[in-house]
Amino acid sequence: MGNLTHSTGSSLTPVERARRVLAWLDRVPHTVLAIPLRLAVATVFWNSAMAKLANWESALYLFQEDYNVPLIPPEPAAAYLAVSIELAAPVLLMGLATRPVALVLLGMTTVIQVFVYPLAWPTHIQWAAMLLVLLTRGPGKLSIDWLIRRRVLGAV
């Protein structure tokens, strides 16, 4: 983190200390922040897929009776679509197609919030916040996307 005192040994004022801490925090690379975001989002959706696959009959029942997903037949189309999207989430761990996957998962989160669990907005807003960061800032340099982008577009 660096030395928070002057080289002469005198202590910093609280304002100077705050300024240095904020400057240090501002230098944290997006790549460091993106890794736990990718892990968190991928885990949420992967676990959901695993729960559905562990008891497929229950999952079909929920889509048919409880989930009010519009425009898609509840069973089996909506269930298959949901599980397919959720199974794709682990590509976020590698940083592959991060922005398109984040956009799809953001859409799915919106559908879940509006039509399935409208009272679960505190959870969904957290998912949305993580997905919006990945959508707008990307996966960071420790990702397949970054390697592809660097190779195709040159230095980035």
Write down the pLDDT at residue 69.
86
Q: Is residue 144 scored above 90 in pLDDT?
A: yes
**Percent of the chain, pLDDT > 70?**
92
Residue 74 confidence (pLDDT) above 80 = no
Residue 47 CB coordination number (10 Å): 12
- Give the per-residue pLDDT at 71: 85
State the pLDDT at residue 7: 53
| CA–CA gap between residue 115 and residue 66 (Å, rounded) | 10
Whole-model pTM?
Answer: 0.85
Listed residue (50, 56, 148, 68) closest to 100, CA to CA? 148
Higher pLDDT, 10 or 69: 69
Q: What's at 8, amino acid-wise?
A: T
Token pair listed for 149: 């982008």
The predicted pLDDT at position 124 comes to: 98
Q: Write the pLDDT tens digit of every residue in 93-139.
A: 889 999 999 999 999 999 999 999 999 999 999 999 999 999 999 99
